[in-house]
Amino acid sequence: MLSRPPVHNRWFIGGYGEPPIKLPYSSPAKFVVRFSPPPLRERMFHFSSESLAKLKAKANRECGKSTISTFQALSALMWRCITRARCFPPEQKTSCRLAIQNRARLQPRLSQNYFGNSLHALCATTTVRELLDNNLGWAAELAHQIVSNHTNSAIRDLVHKYMENPFVYSIHMFDIHSIMIGGSPRFDMYDCDFGWGKPLGARSGSAHKYDGKISGYPGWEGGGSVDLEVCLLPEYMSALERDEELLAVVSPPVKLGVMLGTSSK
């Protein structure tokens, strides 16, 4: 018997009747888009809990606050470093998109066992010049603001707007000058044991990968460590791997021997 049975009751915003939602398309050909990604490089970047604690403290110190979270500071770091690696013109607009859960922000809250997704992709936007001329704390504050503003009323406003003009999301809607951060270091990736022992790594497949897509995972050793799976065009990845701001924070990966229990740290 399941200890936490899934809740299949659908949440649906009031005032629009019941599903199904009628999409304004006469044929699937009008909204089905086949995406062929360009050649990409993927790399896992590991961040220890100690390194992230220092990054969070730096972001809060630079913006003069104590409200910046670890993941907001890390998102700001990746936004700055990837934007620098891309060498866009100074006046080019660039965005950091964060996939954020709605469950705990809705009032009343959705059950933690709600079977399905309820999320939005929030967007912080500025120019390349402003992002790189200001410090990490400034960028982290932008990320913090969009998260703080994502309240119950804001979520309902977004859903109302969607219901007034429904559409099907497509990868092509994401700006090529932005980054998109999904996943979460809070997801329980390593305690799911199928009888083979603790997993050695968490990875995703090839679907929905594009330049600027980042997925977050908990680090294998736990304790607040984080792994980021980053997808970039090869030339951008090569530049990112040399970025001094990133190299000052990123940590060596956990050794295979430690994972297998055959060597000490």
- Residues marked as catalytic: 193
Host H or E run for residue 103: none
For strands 93-101 and 179-183, give the pairing.
parallel
Burial of residue 123, with CB atoms counted within 10 A of its CB: 0-12 exposed, 13-18 middle, 19 or more buried: middle
**For residue 213, what are the β-bridge partners?**
180, 231
Residue 108 neighbours by CB under 8 Å, 6+ apart: none
Secondary structure (DSSP) of 182-215: EE-TTS--SS--SSS-S-S-----STT--TTEEE
Measured CA to CA, the distance from residue 59 to residue 134 in angstroms comes to 12
Structure tokens at 2: 């399941």
